[in-house]
Chains A and B, each alone.
Chain A
Amino acid sequence: MAKQNKQNTETFRDGIKSRLKFVSILLFVFGAALISRLAFLQIIQHDTLVAKSEKQYLSTVKTHFGRGVIYDRNLNELARNVEVESVYVNPSEVQDRKSVARTLATTLGLNRGQIYKKISAKKHFVWIKRKCSLAEVAKLKKAGLAGVRFVAEQKRFYPKRELAASVLGFVGMDNQGLAGIEHAYQAKLKGVTVRQVTERDARGRSIQSHEDLQSSNPSGYDISLTLDEVIQFTTEYHLKKQVERFKADSGMAVVMNPHTGEIYAMANVPQFNPNRYGAFPSKSWKNNIIASSYEPGSIFKPIVAAAALDKGLARPQDIFFCENGMMKIGKVNIGEASDHKFGWLSMRDIIAKSSNIGAIKIAQQVGKNSFYDYIRKFGFGQKSGLPLPGESAGQLKSPKNWTELSLASISFGHEIAVTPIQMVSAMAAIANGGNLMEPHVKHALIKDGQIVEQFEPKKIRRVISEKTSRQLVEVLKSVVKTGTGKKAGLDGYDVAGKTGTAQKYNTETRSYSKTEFVSSFIGFAPADSPRLVILVMIDNPKGSHWGSVVAAPVFRKIAKKALRYLNVPSSKERVFILDRA
């Protein structure tokens, strides 16, 4: 019995052993298969699977910090961004195309047929309308159309509308600068796009905390311009009124600080609204102050006088015979404006009465090479250095190419084309004691509210001596006191300046028009310690064409308000000085 029991136990143990062996083998095989599979997944397919899983739980969030803000010199906003939404459609998700097309067309004001065509395309993405208004987006979201999606975008907005539009320029649909400051400083203003990777849960909600974007300092640059909103507005307002009054083709005005070259105002009329620049003719987008050149006419005469005075060839009181109103050079007879018949005139009177023949006589004393050198030294025939797109260098022929008539013509502002910015820079040099300053519109670069780069005045060169400058200021004061520029006079301030009335050159007939003129006035105030140089040019005014009648009053109005604004008191008003203590 005991033996049988022992035998049974041994048989049971053998059975257990064989079963254990079998199970062990099975486990071993299973383990080996598992290890192989794990090795395959973890080692061989590691990269592929990691990428797949990351795609499932990671998402990239693109945050675009839109274009930088453009400010005036006092940090008033001239251009900023607004977040809007654009509408796109995934055609494969659209079920009722006709109905969707109808709703989209009605809400967004688009053509139904074109939308239907778009949403019937075999694509996964079609734009319907970029940068929609808030009301349009709200309506569409309420409609809840399948396949219609929204994406946030930045839209450039110019809150002051037409103000300084030709200087600011505008941006395209993808926020790329297309004109003006927007184009010139595209690299600085374009903004920054930050990509951030976040973890998502099964419902697609982000579960990993974002890094604080603002503290990580990703923003781009803002720009502060030298323009002053108040002076810019005043300049545009009075220029526009005068252009309308005289039914002129266009008008330009520049206001500059003669000591630093800072441009306080740059106005072009007709204006345009950069928020919807497409609705305006492309001609109005142009900044004629830098991009167009004109024959300046008599406002160029101070340059001849400056050359003669600086070379010591003439003094303000020296007299010249003005040929009683008619002078023949070669085969051409040159007369005076309004058929004046001047006899002997001092240099002061030549400028004050704007004698063409007097200017020729002064230029003849200077000589063509010296005269040309001075013209170049004043910055004509070359770009001013203002970093705005499309600047013209004007037209100035080399003396080698001058004809017998050239010296005479150039002396009273013909046969030469200058840009308004060149002209105002040259007059600033006369006003500030003889230094040609580089005109500039960029005041400072700002990042996160802090100025990171400030622009200092840049002297290009000394053009005339201080003595010449003082003499010329006295001569130009006489233009306003007793000469052609009386209408530019300001009560309580000394004003120096020069009127100009240039006949327009007709390129088709190759002759000067007898009906079309550019009327201008350039001057500065207060004459002895100038704070502002102002140029006003009005193209093709009707009714009257004289610079003294058309442009000088605009100068007076702008100067009056701008000086008041800059706290430069007139001698007619009461001034108190209060001690804070």
Chain B
Amino acid sequence: MRRLVQGRLHVSSKDFGVAISVSILFMFGALVLIWPNVEKIKLAYAYQDLAKEHKELLKENNLLKLERESLRSLDRIQLLAISEVGMEEPDAAKLTTIFLK
């Protein structure tokens, strides 16, 4: 190898070692520089997917809240209480008020 390097490239083995080391260092530096960006992009994709899912869930939650509020409307509850459950208004004699002190 040494002969090959010395014969073909006309450089000393020391110089060759330095050149190889510098190349490796450069590649390592480039990797260090690029790797976080690659990770960042991967995380960004994951974040976007989660954000989309979050948005969908929020939308569904909003629709459920809306449905809950519609179901809680008092005219519907009164109708159900009277017609389906058979509830009726109590008169004063049936009422007891309890105040907590």
Report how far A210 CA is from B45 CA in the complex, Å.
Answer: 11
Note all chain B residues with C-beta closer than 8 A to A82. Answer: 62-63, 66
Note all chain A residues with C-beta closer than 8 A to B95. Answer: 564, 569-570, 573-574
Sample (29) of A-B pairs whose CB atoms are under 8 Å apart? A76-B72, A77-B69, A80-B69, A82-B62, A82-B63, A82-B66, A83-B59, A83-B62, A159-B69, A160-B74, A161-B70, A161-B73, A163-B73, A163-B75, A207-B45, A207-B48, A209-B43, A209-B44, A492-B92, A567-B99, A570-B95, A573-B96, A573-B97, A575-B96, A575-B99, A576-B99, A577-B98, A577-B101, A578-B99
Q: Do A491 and B96 touch (CB < 8 A)?
A: no
Note all chain A residues with C-beta closer than 8 A to B65. Answer: 77, 80
Report A374 CB to chain B, min CB distance, Å: 39
Q: Do B101 and A572 touch (CB < 8 A)?
A: no
Q: Do A580 and B69 touch (CB < 8 A)?
A: no
Taking CB as reference atom, which chain A residue is nearest B42?
A207
Say yes or no for B33: interface residue by CB 8 A criterion.
no
Say yes or no for A206: interface residue by CB 8 A criterion.
yes
Taking CB as reference atom, which chain B residue is nearest A581?
B101
Report A201 CB to chain B, min CB distance, Å: 8
Note all chain A residues with C-beta closer than 8 A to B59. Answer: 83
Q: Do A159 and B66 touch (CB < 8 A)?
A: yes
Q: Do A159 and B73 touch (CB < 8 A)?
A: yes
Note all chain B residues with C-beta closer than 8 A to A163. Answer: 73-75
A: number of interface residues (CB 8 Å): 37
Note all chain B residues with C-beta closer than 8 A to A575. Answer: 96-99
Q: Do B98 and A578 touch (CB < 8 A)?
A: yes
For chain A, what secondary structure do more than half of its interface residues adopt (helix, strand, loop), or is it mixed?
Answer: loop
Q: Do A567 and B97 touch (CB < 8 A)?
A: yes
Report A343 CB to chain B, min CB distance, Å: 39
Q: Can you name 8 extra interface pairs (CB under 8 A) apart from A573-B93, A576-B97? A: A76-B72, A160-B69, A161-B73, A567-B99, A573-B96, A574-B95, A578-B101, A580-B101
- Chain A residues at the B interface, C-beta cutoff of 8 Å: 76-77, 80-83, 157, 159-161, 163, 201, 205-210, 229-230, 233, 237, 491-492, 564, 567, 569-570, 572-580
Taking CB as reference atom, which chain A residue is nearest B51?
A210
Report how far A201 CA is from B96 CA in the complex, Å.
Answer: 70
Report A529 CB to chain B, min CB distance, Å: 15
- Asked, given contacts A82-B66, A160-B73, A233-B75, whether A207 binds B44 with beta carbons under 8 Å apart, the answer is yes
Note all chain A residues with C-beta closer than 8 A to B100. Answer: 577-578, 580
Q: Do A233 and B74 touch (CB < 8 A)?
A: yes
Report A418 CB to chain B, min CB distance, Å: 31
Report how far A570 CA is from B90 CA in the complex, Å.
Answer: 13
B: number of interface residues (CB 8 Å): 28
Taking CB as reference atom, which chain B residue is nearest A159?
B69
Say yes or no for B34: interface residue by CB 8 A criterion.
no
Report how far A419 CA is from B8 CA in the complex, Å.
Answer: 107
Report how far A52 CA is from B73 CA in the complex, Å.
Answer: 54
Taking CB as reference atom, which chain A residue is nearest B73?
A160
Say yes or no for B47: interface residue by CB 8 A criterion.
yes
Q: Do A576 and B96 touch (CB < 8 A)?
A: yes
Say yes or no for B80: interface residue by CB 8 A criterion.
no
Say yes or no for B41: interface residue by CB 8 A criterion.
yes
Report how far A163 CA is from B73 CA in the complex, Å.
Answer: 9
Report how far A209 CA is from B40 CA in the complex, Å.
Answer: 9
- Asked, given contacts A82-B66, A491-B92, whether A577 binds B51 with beta carbons under 8 Å apart, the answer is no
Report B64 CB to chain A, min CB distance, Å: 11
Q: Do A572 and B92 touch (CB < 8 A)?
A: yes
Report how far A209 CA is from B47 CA in the complex, Å.
Answer: 7
Report B27 CB to chain A, min CB distance, Å: 25
Report B94 CB to chain A, min CB distance, Å: 8
Note all chain B residues with C-beta closer than 8 A to A564. Answer: 95
- Asked, given contacts A205-B45, A207-B44, A492-B92, whether A576 binds B98 with beta carbons under 8 Å apart, the answer is yes
Report how far A509 CA is from B92 CA in the complex, Å.
Answer: 50
Note all chain B residues with C-beta closer than 8 A to A83. Answer: 59, 62
Report how far A580 CA is from B66 CA in the complex, Å.
Answer: 38
- Which of A157, A159, A564: most chain B CB closer than 10 A? A159
Report B15 CB to chain A, min CB distance, Å: 24
Q: Do B69 and A570 touch (CB < 8 A)?
A: no
Other-chain contact of B92, A201, A210, A573, A577 (Cβ < 8 Å):
A573
The digit string for B36-63, where 1 denotes a CB below 8 A from any CB of A, is 0000010111011001000000010011
Note all chain B residues with C-beta closer than 8 A to A76. Answer: 69, 72
Other-chain contact of A230, B43, B48, B66, B74 (Cβ < 8 Å):
B74
Report how far A569 CA is from B99 CA in the complex, Å.
Answer: 10
Other-chain contact of A569, B51, B63, B93, B97 (Cβ < 8 Å):
B97
Taking CB as reference atom, which chain B residue is nearest A234?
B74
Note all chain A residues with C-beta closer than 8 A to B41. Answer: 201, 207
Note all chain B residues with C-beta closer than 8 A to A567. Answer: 97, 99
Note all chain B residues with C-beta closer than 8 A to A80. Answer: 62, 65-66, 69
Report how far A577 CA is from B47 CA in the complex, Å.
Answer: 57
Taking CB as reference atom, which chain B residue is nearest A63?
B55
Taking CB as reference atom, which chain B residue is nearest A490?
B92
Q: Do B44 and A206 touch (CB < 8 A)?
A: yes
Q: Give the 3 A-B CB pairs with smallest separation, nearest first.
A: A159-B69, A572-B92, A569-B97
Report B1 CB to chain A, min CB distance, Å: 31
Note all chain B residues with C-beta closer than 8 A to A574. Answer: 95-97
Q: Do A579 and B98 touch (CB < 8 A)?
A: no
Taking CB as reference atom, which chain A residue is nearest B44?
A207
Taking CB as reference atom, which chain A residue is nearest B69?
A159
Report how far A372 CA is from B37 CA in the complex, Å.
Answer: 81
Note all chain B residues with C-beta closer than 8 A to A579. Answer: 101
